[in-house]
Every structure is written in structure tokens, then in C-alpha cells.
Structure 1
Amino acid sequence: MRRSMMFIPGNNSGMLLNADALGADSVIFDLEDAVSPAEKDSARILVRNAMKYLNFSGCEIIIRINSIDTQFWKKDLDEVIPMKPDMIMLPKSGTADHVKAVASYMKEVEEKNGVDRETAIIPLIETALGVENAFEIATSNSRVKAIFLGGEDLTADLRCKRTKKGDEIFYSRGRIVMAARAAGIAAYDTPFTDVEDEEGLRLDAEFAKGLGFTGKAVISPRHVMCINEVFSPTAEEIEYAMEVMEIIKTAKEQGKGAISLRGKMIDAPIVERARQTLEAAKSLGGIQ
């Protein structure tokens, strides 16, 4: 289960070296916003070499390439695809055609280099066009395993102020979650950018989880623990889910059509939520 995804600048050798020790489920080696045009080539090589010579067994590796309206994205893929990253993050994904173009070139690079598996894609949706096309993007290609909301660029595109409360991206958050769930894939929320505001971080993460997001990105190692905690099932949730599954099993054995637990009828949605809770807990090692 992927709860936290931490951005690491592709030109920061120190953070690259320690990427799997920062506690995040996934790390995003960023070749786009974090790297100036003059440093694109060197950052690309640095990331490639880090993946080639270091063992990142403790976390998933995602590469944020440059957007397809630049001259850099194909060079990014040429270098990193042979290293077999877990996912490619495509920034400024505005249409299904953007994803299809990248997927097509990824296939060419994989075949050329003898890569024996498809690298997944996570479109980063950070424009009004992308938000409105979220479902089409989510279903554009079989490589798409999740979609991701980028709040900073989105609010710039919307010409509004980015706030901690996030009212300005409420619609976009809902649209992203709805599109992802309809497509049967995961949805990841934008980072909370105030490194010092731990209370604000927790409130923002809990709100995102309440909307249905699978996890949340971070820009600082200081935020990882909180995000992992918020997006992990609690001991009480796991206990209740186990009770639900046990009582359903008993009801089936006894031929009962209706059953209650703690004074509440147990219906199909409750059973499904219990199943999801236990699945998440198992993937995180919380239960066997």
C-alpha cells in the first residue's frame, strides 16, 4: 500500500543517496520543477546512476519526467526506463493523448533496451484542462495505475491564491477521486507545503483521506510519519473490520440473511469497507 510519496530533487545527491531511509512508501525523483534547464542533463544522469548503483529496496521509485511540451521528456525516458523504475510521473497531464504519447514512447524505449515489463504511469493533473479530463486521463492507457493532483500549478492555472484550508481546490480534489475510483485506480493528494505547520498537515491529510484519496505526497521528510499514520488503518478500525468479517462468516454458516454488530445492521457496503481495511492492514504488515 502506498500512503506517502516524497519528492526528491533530481539534482540533490544527498537526498538521492538516502531516499530509502526517509520513511516514505514511494520516492519521486524529480527531473522537472526542482531542476533548472541548465541542470537537466546532469540531474538526469545523476538519477540514472543512483538507480543503477544503489539499492532502493525499502521504497518504490517514481520518476517525474519533464512535460511533453518540452525538449527534455524523451531524453528523461531514454535514461531512466532501462533502470526499471516502478512508475513514471507525467506532469501537466491535460488530455488522454498526452498519456498515450508518453506510453507509446516508453514502449519503444523498453523494447530497444530489452526491458521485460511495462513501467506504470501516474499522470500528474495540475491544470484546469486536466481536472476536467480526469476520467479520460485515468482510462487512457493500461499503464495508468493512479492519478495525482498537483495543487500549486493548478491554482496558478486557475488564477487564484493557494491557501492552507484548500477551499480553492475542493472541486478538483473531488473530481480526481471520483475519476480514479470510477477507473479502478488509486488517487493521490497534493502536498501540504508548510513544513512547520504539523497541525495543519494532519488536518489537511485527514480531510484528503475523508474525500477518498489513497495517500498524499510530501515535500519534507518531517511530514512522512504523519501521512503514514493518517493513511494507515487504526488498531480500532482493524479490530472492527475483523469482527465484521467474522460475524458475516457466522451468519452465512447459520443461513441468516440479516445480522447486526454493536447495534448496527451489517450490509454490503460495511462488509466492503471492512475488507478494504483488512487488505490495507495486511499490506502494511499490521496483520498476517
Structure 2
Amino acid sequence: MSDYLMRSLMFVPAHSNKLLDSAMRTKADVLLFDIEDSVQPVSNKQVARDKVVDYIRSGKFKGRTIFPRINDRESGQLLKDVLALTIDGIEGFMYPKAKRGRDIYFFDKLLETIEYEKGIEKGTFKIIPLIETASAVMNVEEICKASSRVVAVAYGSEDFITDLEGVHDEEHVSLFTPRALIAMAARATGVIPIDTVHVRVKDLEDLEVNLKLSRKLGFEGMLVLNPMELPLVHQYYSPTEKEITHSKEILKSDEEARKNGVGVAIINGKFIGPPFVAKAKKILKKNENIIKING
């Protein structure tokens, strides 16, 4: 299981001092300094790069996990992005518009070349592919496996719906299948599945509906647009006290059963087989990670 805590990944338009200053005060697990869609006109992209470098080198984001969302390989901006931002304090990059595994393989090799040129250890910078097209959804497992740098994969629903020529309905039915496929592919390949943004930013009731479904589908975190969403997002992607207590009981009963030579432990009349034990370990590990990072 990854040591990354990724319950919330919040986009921050990186050309804005006001938004960067605001991001310093939030409790988002990951900050996605955006150099892509929210940074317009194109002339602002260099402004954004310079600000990210200045803020990080000043120590203002020390201890925070930062993955800038860079521009795609057809934008003409990608090389400028990675040359400027492959610095200490950057954990890795959110790579947009990946359609196949070879897109991530290409980006992996670009990072490898830059690491070599800068004297940085190979594999230092990680990748979070952003799944935004029908092609990407159909190839998501291949994308996840394309590089050992891939630590998570995220769903970008609005670009996906546009590419699909579908409709983002109020019940989010049109998003169900791609969400399920992305979560399954991520878990099958050992990377963290991150759910799409909630576009009705001020509708916290609808956010909660989405979070309940997201957890059921196996997502571990969500892309976030506004800090007001963070408390609910963290609540739903963190183990509850009941889950923590029950997990401890499972591991204790399993240990006692092993000591006594009994094959399977029983709690409240239910057999506790290996899947229950594995899940309990993951819950406790995640809780330890939250405590370690957030104190």
C-alpha cells in the first residue's frame, strides 16, 4: 500500500498570488498547482511557472505534497513546464490527456532525461495520469502500468463527457461506468484511484451523495476545486472510529486464532477470513498515515 495520503487533491491556479497564498492555509493532502486549463492566456503560463518556483524555494510550502498539473505533449508548453519545475519540493506531476500507455511511457522518458541532465536520482518525480477521454478510459489499465512512476490515477469527468459527446446528468449516471473502470484498473495495478471533481462546488449535499458512491466504488480520494469541500472529502476518505476499532478486533482475533492453531477466527458469529484481515490492515495503515502526516 502506498504511503501517499491522497484523500484530497486540490487544484490551485498557479498564476495567482491570492490563490497560492490561500492554498498555504488549506489542509488539502495534495496541492495541484495548475499550469494547464485554469491558466489563461498562454502568456500567464510562464508567470505560473515562475511563481511556483518562487513559492517553493521560499519554503512557503515546505512539508506539503505538490503535484503541478502541467500541459500536455501537444501544447508546446510541456518541455518548458518540466524543465522549470523539476526541483526540490515538487513530488511529481499530474499529466493531462493521456490516451494510451505510450503517452505515459513518453513522459517517463522525458523526466528520466531531465533527471539525468540535472543530476537528480532517476525516478525521483512521480506521475498522476489524468483520465479525460473515452480512449483513456478504455486503456486505463495500460496507462497505470506504463511507468513505475505512476502512483495514482485520476478521473477528469468534464473533458471525458465532452469527448464522449454525452451528458453529465444530475444523477451522475453517465459517470458511473468510467468511474468503476478507473477504480478497478487502479486497484488491479496497485495505484491510488482518485475520483473526479465535484462541479457543483457549493452543493455540499450533492457532494456527500457523490462521496458515498465514490467510497463504494473503491476510490481513495477526490479532485477538489474549493477548500469548502475539504472537511466532507476528508471525512469520507478517512477510516471511522468504528472501522478502526473493528479492524483492531479482527487483527487481535486473527492473531489469537493462529496462536491456538485455529484456522479462522470468529467475531460475533462471523468467520474472519484472509480478505477481512487484509482490509483491517489497510484501514489501520491508512489511519496511521493520517496521524503521521496531520498530527
1:22-171 superposed matches below 5 A: 22-36=26-40, 37-116=42-121, 118-171=124-177
What's the offset of the Cα at 1:164? 4.0
Aligned residue for 2:200?
194
Aligned partners of 1:207, 1:10: CA distance in 2, in Å?
31
Aligned residue for 2:17?
13
What's the offset of the Cα at 1:86? 0.8
Aligned mate of 2:282, from 267, 276, 280: 276
* Residue range with higher mean Cα deviation, 62-71 or 75-84: 75-84
Are residues 1:214 and 2:220 paired?
yes
Check conservation: 1:82, 1:113, Cα contact below 8 A: no
SS in 2 for 1:49: helix
Show structure 1 runs of 5+ residues with no match.
none
Q: Give the TM-score, by structure 2 length.
A: 0.93
Amino acid at match of 1:141: S
Aligned partners of 1:215, 1:191: CA distance in 2, in Å?
10
CA-based RMSD of the aligned residues comes to: 1.5
Aligned partners of 1:24, 1:262: CA distance in 2, in Å?
38
Aligned partners of 1:178, 1:92: CA distance in 2, in Å?
20
Check conservation: 2:55, 2:61, Cα contact below 8 A: no
Check conservation: 1:215, 1:231, Cα contact below 8 A: yes
Check conservation: 1:82, 1:110, Cα contact below 8 A: no
Q: Give the TM-score, by structure 1 length.
A: 0.96
Aligned partners of 2:235, 2:51: CA distance in 1, in Å?
32
Q: Which runs of 4+ in 1 moved over 3 A?
A: none
Aligned partners of 1:208, 1:131: CA distance in 2, in Å?
17
Amino acid at match of 2:142: E
SS in 2 for 1:29: strand
Are residues 1:223 and 2:240 paired?
no
Aligned mate of 2:273, from 260, 267, 272: 267
Check conservation: 1:24, 1:224, Cα contact below 8 A: yes
Aligned mate of 2:261, from 239, 255, 274: 255
Residues paired across the two proteins, number: 287
Check conservation: 2:62, 2:89, Cα contact below 8 A: no
1:120–1:239 distance in 2 versus 1, CA, 3 Å? same
What's the offset of the Cα at 1:19? 2.3
* Residue range with higher mean Cα deviation, 49-58 or 5-14: 49-58
Are residues 1:240 and 2:229 paired?
no
- Identical-pair percentage: 31
